Amino acid sequence: MHELSLTQSLVEIAVDHARREKAQAILSITMEIGSLSGAIPEAVEFAFDVCTRGTLAEGARLEIRRIPGRGRCLECGEETGMDFTTFTCPHCGSFALETFQGKEMRLVELEVD
């Protein structure tokens, strides 16, 4: 379960930012997880309470924004939704698909006190 180490890193980044701003506590953390990132949002939520214990983020609310996969065909230029089973362009059948959305996993917002 690599989500535990990903969540630990997320909490460390959030705590570092909060300390730099002289915050007393982190109230909420908002992050984005792309459907093609390989991270399972439910596992991140499960690990969050454990990873925040004893930190400025203990008791914080975690908000996860799920980002759908999107790609563009390099042959016909059409955009399409993508998941782990998308290998061909649904418009022209080409295998030349480029992913431009859905691989992200990032911290986007902190609410601190």
Domain count for the chain, please give it: 1
Q: Note the pLDDT of residue 2.
A: 85
Residue 79 maps to a domain: no
The pTM (predicted TM-score) of the whole model is 0.89
Say how far apart CA 5 and CA 51 lie, in whole Å: 9
Residue 106 is assigned to a structural domain of this protein: yes
Mean pLDDT rounded to a whole number for the chain? 96
pLDDT tens readout for residues 78-89: 999 999 999 999
Query: What percent of the chain clears pLDDT 90, i.e. is strictly above it?
Result: 96
The verdict on residue 31 lying in a domain is: yes
Domain-located, residue 35: yes
Place of tokens 């759908």: 68
Question: In CATH, what number is assigned to the domain containing residue 48?
Answer: 3.30.2320.50
**The pLDDT of residue 1 is above 70:** no
> Residue 25 pLDDT more than 70?
yes
pLDDT for 15 equals 98
Whether 59 is covered by a domain: the verdict is yes
End-to-end CA gap in the chain: 32
Residue 41 pLDDT more than 70?
A: yes
The rounded percent of the chain whose pLDDT value lies above 70 is 99
| Host domain of residue 108 | 3-69+102-112
d(CA 6, CA 92): 37
Classify residue 44: in a domain, yes or no.
Answer: yes
76 part of a folded domain = no
Domain assignment present for 89 = no
